A and B are shown apart, each in its own frame.
Chain A
């Protein structure tokens, strides 16, 4: 299908700099179109102008020059063909779920009975039946975003805009909602004709989108696009899937690479595909939590334990358990196969250890299994005084996560690093400092010598 729903023609956006010191160009010469029947993803680093472009296409802010056409008509006001799902949900806390969903319908002057029917349909579609009378504050983050989706679905827009819709949710909730949206889309009765998704997350883009548009920064511009030529649903275990993800990682980590217009393998100049250690999200759990879970598993005696049972036995929510397991697996303390969890030898040792020896094991695993910590320690070692400003690391995370999540990633990393006595965080000076023992060990040669770039 090739009929265009929305088209941008040579859109520029400049913002005045504070204090009247000239202008800042956020978007430069952007032309693109959203076609009927496709899921289009805008992928780009923080500050590349994704949100700005989305808001211009939604008619919320005017372009400085250039034009946006929606259904052939120039957009001069809030675009009636568009509904948006917001990153922070944007629900009205004093309205119930149903009233929030009705909001857009009411604004379009639809009578009450009709309106309630359509809103209820949308609520059902996102799996919130039974919660119509609840207030947003009673709902979890994932459920709030479902309300955000239902509100957008209810008005049956031509294009559904989603600005990082899953990034305010924890990893598992996000995954859950993401696959439900995908299922709805694949089932063919999706309430909109196409989806425009803004994201930081490469896997998310490949999983959901038919076409990924990559944006570059300074000033924000289009770098090119990659067609995801997989059959829906996009299967993560498919080799082609991994290949596209790797290709996109390559593109994203090499701002100078040009992308072939056809979407075929880009002409990568040299650099082998590699992911930044800062792109891999840490599960937000505490080392003490991991240790506690491992101890309980070890006490139980049996070699393996069913994950579903574990959740009951530890009486924690499935979400929390999965985060803990994710951490344990990534540190090679446990393995999961076919829904069963098994402790590794290291895991058993960790569970049985004293505080001090436990820290040692944890440190060893961190350095071996999580490249992030290796990278941080090397960076710190590369400095004469063993300290580095926190902003340096935050910037690295910022490239892969929205600011709030980057901050959380940082906090979790500090928590783990402190526990492992790898480094210290000095919040007054805003620096990370190598822990004395780590500094010592490095000299003995436990770690490979830092590779100087």
Chain B
């Protein structure tokens, strides 16, 4: 066997230090999962709500429960992504339904339908904590899956034409094509997207562990519910511990999971020439230095071979690249008509339900509340852009500073802002800040980082020689911004603003109503409306509020962000 990897494997010491580390690491991980996972199967009834103990010594356990939830959600998101994205990209008909649907799902505020999910899951898993567990996982899932699916779909759509032809001509089965062409091609985008979405997921985790739905308080053991309990008990010390814990968890997950995954995924880079700078991870280096994975891999080869062959045989008949069917046939027209019919029918049903229960006037009222929240989002995006763009550009222009601060900004953007809310609330109460304005600050806590992040990234793409040219021509101050910096970072800024405003709409549901102990602050806005409807179990209002928010998000996307993005692409990129 002349294969290089076999040769090096044979030369290695059979069992070295890295092997000890890898084996111990895997065993520890399994033990922790077994211990923590068992907690999820505890029976529960609506009356005996699981108790959250504010003793900080319980925090590691709670953190482990929360983290496990995050990873279970990640697994589901990934599976969903692979299946949904695959069909959307490979079937023209599926695409026509799945992609607009995904667009809508992405615009619906996750926290808006959390109540719906929780009620459904509790009904499904009567008498077990598993119902709540799944509801929380589902909330995190919905915050991750749409992004990841879009990324995967777009990657699949951009598989180079010649590779597709090679796959067809060399008669790759559906399965083989999926694992050897489609998924590897999409891998890097998928990993980055998953990492960012996972970071965003902590926010939803914290929001979904303790929630009041239909006049019931539901609590799941975890850091999120720990924070909720600390707020109720007005315990600042416990809050501090919770923040430290979540910070440690985020850093650990990044170092032990995401860095290695990113370093591993680098092999799927599509550019044919050697990399400028490959991502690096010490954990990945240890795993690669160890022999155990290679040995396990080799044992696994025959099994993998037969599984692969089996799947190949099965998928050959189902998915084998068939030649594109003729477009615009009768079947297609029927299909389109059916889709449109279903959409119209659903809208009519929803509209009738709302009209008969809450009346026409309510719609106007909710629209007004929507305008209030939209104003908050707009102020937030504008302020954050003004504040963070110069700072981001300054960081981006300084490579050393940028590489030092990049992880910090990444950390900040995945840090769940709702852990900070109690402190802000307390400050608002003490200083007498009206919540109608304060809510903007709360919404900004989580979403502003996207703007900073993108400003840095945009500034980094401006070539150094262009900046030197500006120095040379004595182009300074405002002129320099107008001629060089703004055109250079415009596309990134728009991307940042889109993400930030999406995050802010979602955050409005938890930002417009905050409490400290028994003091409740409520701002006038769509977020408050949805939260109150959820707490009271008022279905028509829940549906009305969530639909209104989705409509606002979609409308703003279509009328503002998309055109702006198109303009940025056309005007400012080579």
Residues of chain A touching chain B, judged by Cβ–Cβ distance below 8 Å, are 55, 58-62, 76-80, 82-84, 86-88, 90, 92-96, 98, 103-104, 106-109, 112, 116, 120, 129-130, 132-134, 136-138, 144, 151, 155
Contacts and interface: CB of A to CB of B under 8 A. Distances in A.
Given A132-B2, A132-B4, A78 B270 contact: no
A106 B180 CA distance: 11
Contacts of A80: 171
A107 B308 CA distance: 10
B166 A93 contact: no
A332 B94 CA distance: 64
Contacts, number: 94
19 contacts: A78-B168, A78-B171, A82-B169, A86-B166, A92-B181, A92-B184, A93-B268, A93-B269, A93-B271, A94-B184, A94-B268, A96-B3, A103-B172, A107-B170, A109-B312, A133-B3, A133-B4, A133-B5, A138-B274
A138 B269 CA distance: 13
B176 interface: yes
B321 interface: yes
Interface of B: 1-5, 160, 162-163, 165-166, 168-173, 176, 180-181, 184, 267-274, 301, 305, 309, 312-313, 320-323
B172 A107 contact: yes
Nearest to A61: B323
A144 B166 contact: no
A60 B173 contact: no
A108 B168 CA distance: 12
A161 B320 CA distance: 22
A108 B272 CA distance: 27
A151 B272 contact: no
Contact of A62 (B268, B301, B323): B323
B267 A86 contact: no
Contact of B169 (A84, A108, A120): A84
B171 A92 contact: no
A151 B163 CA distance: 13
A370 B1 CA distance: 53
A108 B173 CA distance: 9
B176 A78 contact: no
B272 A136 contact: yes
Q: Which 9 A-B pairs have the closest CB atoms?
A: A133-B4, A104-B170, A90-B162, A90-B166, A94-B184, A107-B171, A107-B172, A78-B168, A86-B162
A92 B162 contact: no
Given A94-B184, A94-B267, A133-B3, A77 B323 contact: yes
Given A82-B169, A93-B269, A133 B180 contact: no
A58 B170 CA distance: 11
A132 B162 contact: no
A107 B173 contact: yes
A428 B23 CA distance: 62
Contact of A106 (B160, B176, B301, B321): B176
Contact of A84 (B166, B180, B268, B322): B166
Contacts of B180: 92, 95, 103
B170 A83 contact: yes
A88 B313 CA distance: 30
A253 B264 CA distance: 53
B321 A78 contact: yes
A334 to B, nearest CB: 33
A108 B184 contact: no
Nearest to B302: A112
A82 B165 CA distance: 12
Contacts of A82: 169
Contact of A112 (B4, B166, B270, B305): B305
Contacts of B313: 109
Nearest to A103: B170
Nearest to A86: B162
B189 to A, nearest CB: 14
Contacts of A61: 323
Contacts of B165: 55, 58, 60, 84, 86, 90
A87 B163 CA distance: 11
Contact of A155 (B170, B173, B273, B305): B170
Contacts of B170: 83, 103-104, 107, 151, 155
A113 B383 CA distance: 64
B325 to A, nearest CB: 10
A144 B272 contact: yes
Contacts of A133: 2-5
Contacts of A103: 170, 172, 180
Contacts of A98: 3
Given A94-B267, A137-B272, A137-B274, 18 more contacts: A58-B169, A62-B323, A80-B171, A84-B166, A84-B169, A88-B162, A90-B162, A90-B166, A92-B184, A93-B272, A95-B180, A107-B170, A109-B313, A116-B1, A120-B2, A129-B2, A133-B4, A133-B5
Contacts of B272: 93, 136-137, 144
A92 B163 contact: yes
B271 A137 contact: yes
Contacts of B176: 106-107
Contacts of A155: 170
Nearest to A62: B323
A98 B1 CA distance: 11
A78 B169 contact: yes
A151 B180 CA distance: 15
B90 to A, nearest CB: 16
A105 to B, nearest CB: 9
A311 to B, nearest CB: 24
Which of the listed residues A58, A94, A96, A132 has the most CB atoms from chain B within 10 Å of its own CB?
A94
A93 B270 contact: yes
Nearest to A144: B272
Which of the listed residues A78, A79, A136 has the most CB atoms from chain B within 10 Å of its own CB?
A78
B231 to A, nearest CB: 48
Which of the listed residues B2, B173, B184, B312 has the most CB atoms from chain A within 10 Å of its own CB?
B2
Contacts of A107: 170-173, 176, 312
A136 B270 CA distance: 10
A59 B170 CA distance: 11
Nearest to B313: A109
A112 B312 CA distance: 15
Which of the listed residues B3, B184, B268 has the most CB atoms from chain A within 10 Å of its own CB?
B3
A109 B171 CA distance: 10
A78 B171 CA distance: 7
A168 B180 CA distance: 25
Contacts of B171: 78, 80, 104, 107-108
Contacts of B301: 112
B169 A60 contact: yes
A60 B324 CA distance: 10
Contacts of B271: 93, 137
A78 B172 CA distance: 10
A22 B462 CA distance: 44
Contacts of A104: 170-171
Given A88-B162, A155-B170, A132 B3 contact: yes
Contact of A77 (B166, B274, B322): B322
A112 B305 CA distance: 8
A155 B172 CA distance: 13
A132 B1 CA distance: 10
B210 to A, nearest CB: 44
Contact of A137 (B1, B273, B309): B273
Which of the listed residues A58, A60, A96, A98 has the most CB atoms from chain B within 10 Å of its own CB?
A60
Contacts of B5: 133
Contacts of B274: 137-138
